[in-house]
Structure 1
Amino acid sequence: MNMLEVKHLKVWDSRTHQPIIHGSSFQVESGKCLAIIGESGSGKSVTCRSVIRLNSPSLASSGDIFFQGENLTDLSDQDMRKRRGKQIGMIVQNGMRAFDPSCVVGVHFKETLKTHYGWSKSEMERNMSQAMEKVALRNPLDLMNRYPFQLSGGMLQRMMIALTLVLEPDLIIADEPTTALDTITQFEVVEQLRLLRERLDCSMLFISHDLGDVKKIADDVLIMNQGKIVERGAVQTVFEQPSHPHTQFLVSTRMELASHFEQIMEEDDAPC
């Protein structure tokens, strides 16, 4: 059974009529992770925001998006808001933008969990504290009383992962969740996302331009270029035997960077 089915998705600028997504179709199987890879401007983030209907008002779209057999394009805005968070989780690119800068982060958690569960403050704090400890965040009550600017990007990403852990959605959309992080924190966040999948046994749509991250977490992959899907398949097959020239370029570039890094490390380790 497919958790998500996107059929003939088209997105365009309603002011200029410039096409952005050219009729994409794909599916995410239950319990599986599908990654969408592409360079900046390829349309991968617009695609994932189309799924949860959070694109800019200036963008128009057509096509069908089925979640657990229900066509999301037929829902009212109010019904769609009920699906976000509880049934479809979202972890955005920049953790700072996910929180209101004028409030401590605990306010965001309280409002979200009250909407979906109606919990009291003590219930919210207990459940969030347990989830935050699971993603290696110490002193959770203290962290919930801090403003977003007082926390690092990695901590904010892990807080969003902790909130997702409490909400237990059936589908998680992670839109380039490691882009704004340093290398070590990137590794930690990808590992937490991998563990999140195991704990919830959920499906995931993982958006990235980093082939290394995709290999760690995804089962299948789509390659996008200029708003079109140019290749798809199992991660290992696509990376080891790419057929489209654009995929071949992405893979070869990744291999060159890895080789250059290894060469630098060997030079640093060489005796003086």
Structure 2
Amino acid sequence: MGKTSKDKRDIYYRQAKEEGWRARSAFKLLHIHDAYGILNGVRRAVDLCAAPGSWSQVLSRKLYDTCQNDAEKSATKIIAVDLQAMAPIRGVLQLQGDITKESTAEAIISHFSADGEEKAQLVVCDGAPDVTGVHEMDEYMQHQLLVSALSIATVVLESGGSFVAKIFQGNATGLLSTQMKIFFNKFDIYKPPSSRSSSIESFVVCSDFCLPPGYIPQVINTARDDIRVLAQKTGSDVNRRLVPFIACGDLDGPNNHSEDESDASGELQDDIKYDYDGIMSDEIYPQEFKGSYEELKINHTSRQ
């Protein structure tokens, strides 16, 4: 589909054409850098959902083209990841892969060092789902993409690294902000000047990456994985609590279990059985409670 006259009148669209950027979105990353200096001192970066490659172009020009000699160029590694292939970019290694798969994270790390000790200093993601026009649905899908980008960032980022990703502002923004602060000591939401005022997009700018003690990084796909099962695979008690948390909850069950576990008077029903879920805390599901959670819902519904 061709560009509309509105697009052609846009100053950043025209400037992108003049300067050889593949899309006007290149200026968003440039403006984020101007405001936060996220590219300063970076030699290893990952661009998730990279196609058509405007952000990878920025990384190439700011990191690779500024190298003074061959030694610096060989130490500079930029990985662009997308399901779609795109035209080559100088100094950028392209990987075709799904950011919701662990194999993609492993492939990224393998290009930094054989032993996995050398990781990325910066992870950026300008990806967005196909817009449906239904704000609540678009916001939800964008947040799930953000969770996928965050989970892969926890695998490939080195301690002290930075993370930048697109976010659609909405009701869940406050929750996601709280979740980001679990992994980053510095967090901000920024709308660059090149982002249209009519757009609901903004960008999370996170720095000083630090994994919580005891947390084992996992690649999360909330649409594919059973979060409760995934959280127990590592054997970490921290994962059992944080993985469901950063995944924004489980849409298969009620948000407030206490409403299903009690009657109108607030007293627990003696004849209602409960299923102990190892992920939940003992205060919510005591060990002695046995039975099926489906039975709980059926019994409770029949009383209404």
TM-score past 0.5 threshold: no
Q: Which has the higher strand share?
A: 1
Q: Which has the higher helix share?
A: 1
TM-score w.r.t. the length of structure 1 is 0.31
TM-score w.r.t. the length of structure 2 is 0.29
